[in-house]
């Protein structure tokens, strides 16, 4: 007997192929149902609701969702999301929006941002080195070609840029 049904999926665990318990009705359950995933996309939702296929004695979870946590999106939006609320969304108007509490980028050699403007109105920049190819504004003052006044030799500091 073969069937395709919406079912509860519980206790999904990692392995060569993920597997978990499928519960179609209160009294009907199957352990070790396979949960294959598309290349390049991986998730371990553990519990949720899914579309389950039973065929030839094999139970396969085709799709799994966490309906209570899934973000509501506008038409055509695409989102990678976590049950805790952080997400990366592709939205209309060529907008990529990242919502999170902490963003970490690990780049072994460099990070390149090609844009005419970077805005961080409420952020502090902490860096060992800051360099600019043509212009650098600090507290609204241009640093390229600036001069110091009141310079004296010894341990004293010079005045801030004019």
Residue 22 is predicted with a pLDDT of: 96
Residue 157 is predicted with a pLDDT of: 65
Residue 161 is predicted with a pLDDT of: 66
Residue 162 is predicted with a pLDDT of: 61
Residue 118 is predicted with a pLDDT of: 86
Q: In the beta sheet, which residues pair with residue 4?
A: 53
DSSP structural state of residue 110:
-
Residue 82 is predicted with a pLDDT of: 95
The CA-atom distances, in angstroms, between 56 and each of 1, 53, 60 are: 7, 10, 11
Residue 158 is predicted with a pLDDT of: 64
Using 50 as the pLDDT threshold, list the residues of the chain that sit under it: none
Q: Mapping DSSP to helix (H, G, I), strand (E, B) and coil, where does residue 16 land?
A: coil
Residue 115 is predicted with a pLDDT of: 94
Residue 25 CA to residue 10 CA, distance in Å, equals 13
Residue 154 is predicted with a pLDDT of: 72
Q: How far, rounded to the nearest angstrom, does the alpha carbon of residue 16 sit from its chain's CA centroid? A: 24
Residue 84 is predicted with a pLDDT of: 94
**In contact, 142 and 136? CB cutoff 8 Å:** yes
Residue 113 is predicted with a pLDDT of: 93
Instruction: Name all domains of the chain by residue range, CATH numbers in brackets.
Output: 3-65 (2.40.50)
pLDDT in tens, 113-148: 999 988 888 888 888 887 778 888 888 888 877 777
Residue 38 is predicted with a pLDDT of: 92
């Amino acid at each position: 007997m073969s069937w395709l049904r919406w079912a509860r999926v519980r206790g999904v665990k990692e392995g060569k192929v993920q597997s978990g318990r499928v519960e179609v009705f209160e009294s009907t359950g199957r352990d070790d149902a396979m949960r294959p995933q598309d290349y390049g996309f991986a998730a371990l939702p553990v519990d949720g609701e899914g579309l389950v296929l039973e065929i030839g004695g094999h139970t396969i979870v085709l799709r799994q969702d966490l309906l209570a946590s899934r973000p509501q999106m506008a038409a055509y939006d695409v989102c990678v999301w976590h049950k805790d609320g952080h997400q990366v969304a592709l939205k209309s108007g060529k907008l990529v929006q990242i919502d999170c509490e902490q963003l970490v980028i690990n780049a072994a050699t460099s990070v390149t941002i090609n844009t005419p403007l970077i805005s961080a109105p409420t952020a502090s920049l902490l860096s060992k080195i800051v360099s600019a190819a043509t212009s650098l504004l600090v507290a609204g003052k241009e640093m390229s070609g600036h001069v110091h006044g009141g310079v004296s030799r010894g341990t004293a500091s010079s005045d801030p840029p004019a």
